[in-house]
Amino acid sequence: MSRVAVYGATGFIGTACAHALRHAGHDVVARTARRLWVAPEDLAGSPAAGHRPFLDEVRAELDGVDAVVNAAGLATSAASRTPALVGANAAWPRLLADACERARVPRLVHVSTAAVQGRAPRLDESLDYAPVTPYARAKVLGEQLLRDAAARGTVATTVYRPPSVHGPGRRMTSDFAAFCRRFPLVTCADGSQPVPVALVGNVGAALAEIVTADDAPLVVSHPYEGHTVRTLYETFAPGRPLRCLPAAAVGALLRAAEPTGSWLPPLGALCRRAELMLLGQAQAPGWLAARGFRLPLGQAAWDELATGLRGPVPRPRAARGPCDTRDDTYRSPR
């Protein structure tokens, strides 16, 4: 049994990670991340900028710890490029790496995101980056700072990249379920293109696997959960038709929106989500798959999640006369 400090243990992913670690027999110690406000140019000049006042106190709370998991951060895909965003997603992970080195903690696992590879044709475990949003760029900076810290060789460091993570209580999941009920479902081709998504319980299990491994590489991607655009729509909106759009027209529209999305983060994030559901994105098999790791939750868990988010079935419509102008739009509860 190991003693593992989890930063962000009360958050969405941190809760799942702590549960999986406890289930595996580990002693989990919940820790609170520090709020840092750091400009990107300050980090470029000195990776320790902005966090020196916290370094000693964080080091002190790592005494007796065998491993650290950082599940803390500012997980807002539509966020603007602010010192708070950079501080949470770049400066804080580097602070932890430095604190682990001082406290002689041998293992650090940091939760990043597949968004660092953005529009890459295929997600993989390389250090090739293609971020689209300020959020993704801050995560890239965090990975690069951890890569530089890991090069010193004193702390075994792994950056874990989950894709879009779904689960009960997450706003992104409930919003997607509501979208599937209310709007036409569209994609390109026949909808068989793979889409990178993950259940939060599977993310927690993957983190527990990484923490306990002796040979985990610098970058580990989340395994492909088997969903295509069509099967994801069918899970959250069974029976609804799927309309197919021409890929060329969709690509042209997304490219036209790209310049505006580059300086308007909410639009950039929205376009990226639409791009995934229209065009999909492939995933290369990674270290976890090669290790023989099996995701504990499958389609039944996806179905259970989707069922819990569906609104009541609308009542059959009564016959109407030619002058009946009642609104027939079904509005599910928020």
Q: CA 43 from chain center: how many Å? A: 24
Q: What is the 3-state secondary structure (H, E, C) of 56-123?
A: HHHHHCCCCCCEEEECCCCCCCCCCCCHHHHHHHHHHHHHHHHHHHHHCCCEEEEECCHHHHCCCCEE
What pLDDT band is residue 204 in, cutting at 50, 70 and 90?
A: very high
**Domains of the chain from N-terminus onward:** 3-168+196-224+283-296 (3.40.50.720)
52 pLDDT exceeds 80? no
Average pLDDT over residues 289-298: 96
Question: Distances from the Cα of 157 to the Cαs of 50, 105, 109, in angstroms?
Answer: 22, 11, 6
* Contacts of 5 by beta carbon, 8 Å cutoff, 6+ apart: 29, 31, 61, 62, 65, 67, 68, 69, 105
Pinpoint the alpha helices (H) of 195-245: 200-212, 229-236
**pLDDT value at position 44?**
67
- pLDDT above 90 coverage of the chain, percent: 70
Token readout for 168 is 């009960």
Q: Which of 68-82, 97-111, 173-187 has the lowest mean pLDDT?
A: 68-82
Phi and psi for 19 in degrees, rounded to 5?
-65, -45
Is pTM beyond 0.75? Reply is yes
pLDDT tens-digit readout, 160-190: 999 999 999 999 999 999 999 999 999 998 8
